[in-house]
Amino acid sequence: MVLLVSYDVLMRNLFGSAMTGVAEYVSEWLMPATVLFALAYTEHKNEHIRVTIIEDSLKGGPQKALRVMGQLTSVAVALVLTWASFQLAVDSFTIRETVPMGTALLTVWPIKVAVFAGWLWLSVQTIANLIAVFLPAADAQTHPRTDGGNLAEHGNEGGSGA
């Protein structure tokens, strides 16, 4: 994506002739795939930004309940968006959807299938992280402590621990 846009800018500035359709390909194809697969990958690595002020003030059962509620919300949102993108992908594939791009037509159904795949992967990852909340060893991996330890080492207690 970077090379494609850079080439387009270089051609436009040096030779006064831009490459046809770069903006469309980037916005219709590359950006959606990049964003959705990055969301799923970030969920897999558990590297989403979290604000845990309330969670960190709770201990034991209430802390776990809050995590479960948060993860259930993530699962629900991901599943709704997966279902919606599935319907759009099927419709788009059925009619072999295209959009005008200058003098040509840009086929968009493959990216809608990729968008569905990205939401599906995110749904699977959110479900896996929900299950991990209930597994003590996995819980330490998915919710590391900010003081260098993890919840398993500290028995779900605050402070700097051992």
- State the Cα–Cα distance between residues 78 and 84, nearest whole angstrom: 10
Angle 59-64-70 (CA atoms, 0-180°, nearest 5)?
A: 125
What is the three-state SS of 26-39? HHHHHHHHHHHHHH
Of 99, 111, 112, 125, nearest to 39 by C-alpha is: 125
What pairs with residue 107 in β-bridges?
98
In angstroms, the Cα distances linking 88 to 52, 84, 111, 113, 149 are 35, 6, 11, 8, 44
Q: Taking the model in full, what pTM does it have?
A: 0.70
Closest CA to 126 of 40, 19, 24: 40
What are the tokens at 34? 């990049």
Structure tokens at 120: 């599906």
Q: How far apart are CA 125 and CA 119, in angstroms?
A: 10
Residue 77 has pLDDT above 80, yes or no: yes
Note the pLDDT of residue 160.
42
Q: What digits encode the pLDDT tens for the residues 122-137?
A: 999 999 999 988 886 6
Q: Which residue has the higher pLDDT, 39 or 154?
A: 39
